[in-house]
Chains A and B, each alone.
Chain A
Amino acid sequence: MELLIQLGFVALLLLVGLVFGRAAEQRHFRDLERREAEFANVLVFNERTPPQRPFREAALVVGSVVVAEDYFKRMAAALKSLVGGRLTAYESLMDRGRREAILRMKAEARARGARVVFNVRFETASLAEAGAGARPMFSAEFIAYGTALVE
């Protein structure tokens, strides 16, 4: 009986993760596309030196976000890693996080009146919790930063 309750609980978490997690992810991707179009005129470069033009102002701009995977995808990824290969569940997480970080950096640049950001660097840090239960939580921080130049 106890086993059944436990199994039922896991199944419920999986279902919640599958239904709500997927809906939230699709919503986020649509939102990303909309905002990417909106910020398309803020150009970002990973070039180290800006062109020799007179710029009025230079400012460090940073965009960051912490994202977590849903319960269903975490289980799916755990199963998939038994056989190895592509972990699509985590690929989409990385994609979402990095695009969100770039957009937040662009938003900061635009707020300062800049239209170009130079020397853009990415940083990813895993905030997985090794000790928390049998199935650790996984979340990752994404940072995008660069120097916004105001003409």
Chain B
Amino acid sequence: MELSNLEVIPGRQVVRHLGLVQGSTVRSKHAGRDIMAGLKNIVGGELKGYTELLIEARQEAIERMVAQAQAVGANAVINVRFSTSNITSGAAEVMAYGTAVYAE
């Protein structure tokens, strides 16, 4: 499965558009990591625990999107976009979406 956020796949020809596919996951920020993050908030800087949490979440969102694309018989997803939203205090939704295509 080839992923790209371009509208084309360089060197290949898109022969069929198979529609929008998306994957998302909601993760809570309140794990044991939250205590460290609370302390880190006094001095500021990177919150590594959260960075990793959101990277994992994004990976999962991509996997779900890819699963959807495979289900419709695509071999690539183009025009991929990400979005993160803070849905309630303490939980974030990470979403990935794109256009499933068949390319030769």
Interface residues of A (CB under 8 A from B): 13, 16-17, 20-21, 24-25, 28, 48-50, 54-56, 58-60, 62, 64-71, 73, 93, 100, 118-119, 121, 123, 125-132, 137, 139, 141, 143, 145-147, 149
Contact = CB atoms under 8 A, between A and B. Distances in A.
A56 B37 CA distance: 42
Contacts of A13: 42
B6 A118 contact: yes
Helix, strand, loop or mixed for chain B's interface?
A: mixed
A141 B94 CA distance: 11
Given A24-B44, A66-B54, A149-B10, A60 B89 contact: no
Q: Looking at A13, A54, A59, A125, which has the most chain B CB atoms within 10 Å of its CB? A: A125
A130 B45 CA distance: 20
Interface residues of B, number: 36
Contacts of B42: 13, 16-17, 21, 70-71
A127 B10 contact: no
Contacts of B47: 66-68, 139
Contacts of A123: 82-84
Contacts of B44: 17, 21, 24-25, 67-71, 73, 93
B51 A145 contact: no
Contacts of A55: 10-11
B80 A60 contact: yes
A69 B40 CA distance: 9
B13 interface: no
Given A58-B4, A60-B80, A66 B46 contact: yes
B89 A130 contact: yes
B92 A21 contact: no
Contacts of B104: none
A147 B7 CA distance: 10
Contacts of B86: 125-128
Interface string B32-59: 0000011011111111001100110010
A121 B98 CA distance: 14
Given A64-B58, A68-B41, A139 B50 contact: yes
16 contacts: A17-B43, A21-B42, A49-B6, A49-B7, A54-B11, A60-B3, A64-B55, A66-B51, A66-B54, A68-B37, A69-B44, A70-B45, A125-B83, A141-B51, A146-B5, A149-B10
